Amino acid sequence: MVVNTVLSMMAYDYPPEKLSVYLSDDGGSNLTFYAMLEAANFSKTWLPFCKKFQVESTSPEAYFRTASELVNVQEWLSVKILIDGRDTNAVDIEGNPLPTLVYLAREKRPQYHHHFKA
């Protein structure tokens, strides 16, 4: 559900240089981070698809049924910005700029109230 929401926001009809999507993961889950890596890669195809076919519901759940090739998450643990919208190489398959996508992992610790960490 999180990946669908992120991709829906990225596909929103708004100038990508003015749009940034931030996901704050309080648990610092490797699974959530891996899902965001897949979403970043998939967005390069999904965003042009939405524009080309004027997809009303930009959630890819109906289209996104097969698993992608696994990525070694350990190589990416230090990465926070998955897509840097300021990078001229951050483009989709049609050469259009992509919006910024940032993953934030915040580990919960028992000695701190997590409601006050944001």
In a domain, 95, yes or no: yes
Q: Looking at the 3D structure of the chain, how many domains does it have? A: 1
In a domain, 112, yes or no: no
In a domain, 116, yes or no: no
CA Rg value for the chain? 15
* Closest alpha carbon to 99 in 75, 113, 82: 82
In a domain, 89, yes or no: yes
**Residue 70 sits in which domain range?**
1-8+19-105
Rounded to the nearest angstrom, the gap between the alpha carbon of residue 10 and the centroid of all alpha carbons in its chain is 8
Local confidence pLDDT in tens for the 118 residues of the chain: 788 888 888 888 889 889 999 888 877 888 888 888 988 988 888 888 888 877 766 677 755 443 344 444 444 444 488 888 888 999 999 999 999 988 877 666 666 555 554 4
- Full-prediction pTM beyond 0.85? no
* Closest alpha carbon to 10 in 53, 52, 60: 60
Is 87 marked within a binding site? no
